[in-house]
Structure 1
């Protein structure tokens, strides 16, 4: 006998990509035209740290380090900055445009779960 609930769970995890690493932009620039990327670890986020003078640093960072005080220690030469940490592929670019992939994954998972319950 086939294990439909188990197959459904495996399929849903595949859609959401649970536990997969992300890619982030990696550069220091003033223009926002960064094209270099890097593969991050599983527990990383993408950082976009903007200095008051306008230079922006983009890189992978441990998600647990996405805190103002921790970043101030990591970037001691930057007196004032704003930052954003995110956990989607290439989300630390010049503009953050939603791709709709999380919604698509959710809808696909719901459809599969509905199909498995039939």
Structure 2
């Protein structure tokens, strides 16, 4: 029973990210590779903003600023861009590795809890 309680608490902490704020990649480059990590506030989300010429900006941004008109005001020198805002740790990497890792961790935790109850 203690095993089940421990796994349940681990699962809750992993899903809810208790005790920590959001972390996002922070860089501005043409390569798509980024290793700098920035700690954000609870009001922030991560953004990955891609310019037409191939440059990508990754950073923390207020969740309320994640709309086309607000971003146009914040980045006036960029005439054409695509963007994606997200709210999980390091989700602005540009790859699906972070998402896949999170899904696998969640599935493993659920399997562990189910295994204890069987």
Which TM bucket (shorter chain)? 0.7 to 0.9
C-alpha distance in 1 between matches for 2:17 and 2:34: 27
Matches within 5 A, 1:1-118: 13-18=12-17, 20-97=20-97, 98-102=99-103, 104-105=105-106, 108=109
Mark the structure with the bigger radius of gyration. Answer: 1
Q: Which runs of 5+ in 2 are unaligned?
A: 1-7
Question: What CA deviation, in whole Å up to 9, does each residue of 1:59-109 have, x standing for no partner?
Answer: 000111110111001101101000001111111113132234357447746
SS in 2 for 1:92: helix
Question: Normalized against structure 1, the TM-score is what?
Answer: 0.73
CA contact (8 A) 1:21 1:44 kept: no
Question: Normalized against structure 2, the TM-score is what?
Answer: 0.73
TM-superposed CA distance for 1:47, in Å, is 0.4
TM-superposed CA distance for 1:27, in Å, is 0.7
| Higher share in helix | 2
TM-superposed CA distance for 1:14, in Å, is 2.5
Counterpart of 2:5 in structure 1 is: none
- The Cα RMSD (Å) is 3.0
How many residue pairs get aligned? The number is: 116
